[in-house]
Amino acid sequence: MKIKGVIFDFNGTLFWDTELHYQAWDIFLDKYGLNINEAEKDDIIHGRNNEYILDRIYPEKLSPDEIKRLSIEKEDMYQELCLEQKLQLASGSVDLFKFLKENNIPFTIATGSDFHNVDFYFRYLGLEDYFDISKVIYSNGSIKSKPDPQIFQEALKVLGLKNDEVLIFEDSEPGIKAAENVKAGEIIIVRSDDRDYSKWNHKIIKDFAEVDRSVFDIR
């Protein structure tokens, strides 16, 4: 079956910021005297939403208001780090967006980030040229963290497509599992760092120019 729509993960996929998130969490953990080792950090943080992360790094149960406050505090740290860099989307991604638009193939973002960061990305990365912010699926407090497939199920509703009609781009283990759990028609892994993806049976790219355009349903 030809691909009729695309769902993009964002962090580590369209925007290669994994190390910036890790740096921000290091600053946050140090401020609050919290400790997790490197293996725990990768398992707890990479590809997860803040509610999931905070629930696991704090010994006591946090209220929804505390989670929101601490989440914004951490993301403010992260955004400061971002603004010290030259912000740009992953190589080849803009050309792919243009191709999809020109061929009337719907696409959206499904990200574990909250709206505080989504708004930031739209302001500083020019996403409004290609995406409708009202159709971006993000962590709003009710969507379960990946690998639960809920975030992709919500994105499918936005696109008006079936699971086997879409291509999902992901970089994290929880995200890849979520894409598998939703039974996406195709999954492509974006290698934005030196992570080992050898256990996965999916195409791996480092540049969106590598995406085979012939997989799409062009009429």
Q: Is residue 95 classed as helix, strand or coil in its secondary structure?
A: helix
Count CB-CB contacts under 10 A for residue 65.
8
pLDDT in tens, 191-209: 999 889 999 999 999 999 9
- % pLDDT > 90, the chain: 89
Confidence band of 177 (pLDDT split at 50, 70, 90) = very high
- Please provide residue 44's backbone torsions phi and psi, each rounded to the nearest 5 degrees: -85, -35
Residue 156 CB partners (closer than 8 Å, separation 6+):
7, 162, 163, 166, 182
Give the separation between CA 170 and CA 29, rounded to whole angstroms: 26
pLDDT, residue 5, reads 98
Confidence band of 119 (pLDDT split at 50, 70, 90) = very high
CATH superfamily of the 5-17+88-215 domain: HAD superfamily/HAD-like (3.40.50.1000)
Domain ranges of the chain: 5-17+88-215, 18-83
Q: What's the Rg (C-alpha) of the chain?
A: 17
The fold adopted by the segment(s) 18-83 is DNA polymerase; domain 1 (1.10.150)
pLDDT in tens, 49-92: 899 999 999 988 999 999 999 999 999 999 999 999 999 999 99
Q: Which residues pair with 189 in a beta bridge?
A: 170, 204
